[in-house]
Copies of this chain bind each other. A is one copy, B any other.
């Protein structure tokens, strides 16, 4: 069987499983999630063993220790992954929720209710915990998960999916509700991207190049997630101590994630007071600043910013910086270079905050708060499948409701249209 035929066989089984999974009540799905959590803990030694072969291959390929740490599973980490599955079981079931409902003037009863999307394809890099997290969120929301992880984690992912499928065998949930895309070739990703009609939505989780290639080639509808070039704007009327705290937190609390700040913009009227202290604090935290000429006039350590610095998602201890002459200039900069993820303003001026919120077109706008708060857990949604930076379907942190569609149910007594 060719790889494509094998993929289609898997995708068709996923499609069939979706029909069986969609109408299941919450209790059946939660029971299956607890079975999965228990099975992961019980199978931890064999999962670790599979993971060791991925790790050994990664070492042979000279992968950095940082990446190897992301790839590695221990029995402790597997216990944490199982706990996360139990937490998903504890979340409310979005399926069946009435979003809208009323009786029309002609007596027809109209209800709009949440239903699963169907088959959700997820393409992701690196950490094998995503395999379980994504499967659990899909299952809870009544969706079949068709998973395509990094080829570097293929043995780990195969073991994890095998354990989950085994756990489903004794439940009402179809065993095919969690599946791995067969193979590790680049072609196997393409099969998934062209599986319109079998796959209802594709969620790529990873860097800009992954997202762009999926958007470019996919005929399946895509939800873009995970690229964040976030800016902190320090307004003329900012509380300088607060601005320093927010900037440092946004940049350094966890630099490798999409809601970390990659740029700061300072109003010219406050630059003399703010920039020298900011440069000192950032230097103290090990951050390299890439600034325009006006920022560079405040410090010798500032690297000259190129056009690329305004657009790049560093994911490291680097930040781009620019002095702007007005709030509107800050908005223009963000509109031109931002990725539409999260921008923050620090200001004591209510009109400035209102204008920034109105004009900035990003998934999240923070007023006097760190960009790091754009997160499903922080927003109180429970676990998230990703952070959408597109405007269609879902924008910002995506929890369980964002993994559903809706259906209109219309009930009459032989109603005819006149």
Q: Which residues of A contact B (CB under 8 A)?
A: 19, 22-23, 102, 104-105, 108, 110, 112, 115, 117-118, 196, 200-201, 215-216, 219, 221-223, 239, 242, 245-246, 249, 253, 335, 346, 353, 357-359, 361-370, 372-374, 378-380, 390-393, 395-397, 405-417
With both beta carbons as reference points, the residue of chain B lying nearest to A362 in the complex is identified as B407
B residues less than 8 Å from A380 (CB atoms)? 102, 104-105, 110
Set B105, B365, B390, B414: member contacting A239, Cβ < 8 A: B414
Q: How far is the CA of A380 from the CA of B100 in the complex (A)?
A: 12
Q: How far is the CA of A203 from the CA of B147 in the complex (A)?
A: 29
Q: How far is the CA of A215 from the CA of B415 in the complex (A)?
A: 35
Q: How far is the CB of A14 from chain B (nearest CB, A)?
A: 14
Set B196, B335, B412: member contacting A215, Cβ < 8 A: B196
B residues less than 8 Å from A361 (CB atoms)? 19, 22, 115, 118, 407
Check B412 against A368 for contact (C-beta < 8 Å).
yes
Check A410 against B242 for contact (C-beta < 8 Å).
no
Set B102, B118, B365, B390: member contacting A408, Cβ < 8 A: B365
Check B409 against A357 for contact (C-beta < 8 Å).
yes
Check A370 against B415 for contact (C-beta < 8 Å).
yes
B residues less than 8 Å from A397 (CB atoms)? 408
B residues less than 8 Å from A353 (CB atoms)? 411
Of the A-B pairs whose beta carbons lie under 8 Å apart in the complex, a sample of 22, sorted by A's number, is A23-B359, A104-B378, A110-B379, A110-B380, A118-B361, A221-B221, A221-B222, A221-B391, A245-B414, A249-B416, A353-B411, A361-B407, A364-B408, A365-B409, A366-B412, A367-B410, A368-B413, A369-B415, A370-B416, A373-B415, A395-B406, A396-B408
B residues less than 8 Å from A417 (CB atoms)? 249, 253, 370, 372-373, 378
Starting from the known contacts A367-B410, A392-B392, 19 additional A-B residue pairs (CB-CB under 8 Å) come to A19-B335, A104-B379, A105-B380, A108-B373, A117-B392, A201-B392, A253-B416, A253-B417, A346-B414, A353-B411, A362-B407, A363-B408, A365-B410, A367-B411, A369-B410, A373-B410, A373-B415, A373-B417, A396-B408
B residues less than 8 Å from A249 (CB atoms)? 416-417
Check A416 against B245 for contact (C-beta < 8 Å).
yes
With both beta carbons as reference points, the residue of chain B lying nearest to A96 in the complex is identified as B358
B residues less than 8 Å from A392 (CB atoms)? 117, 200-201, 221, 223, 392-393, 405
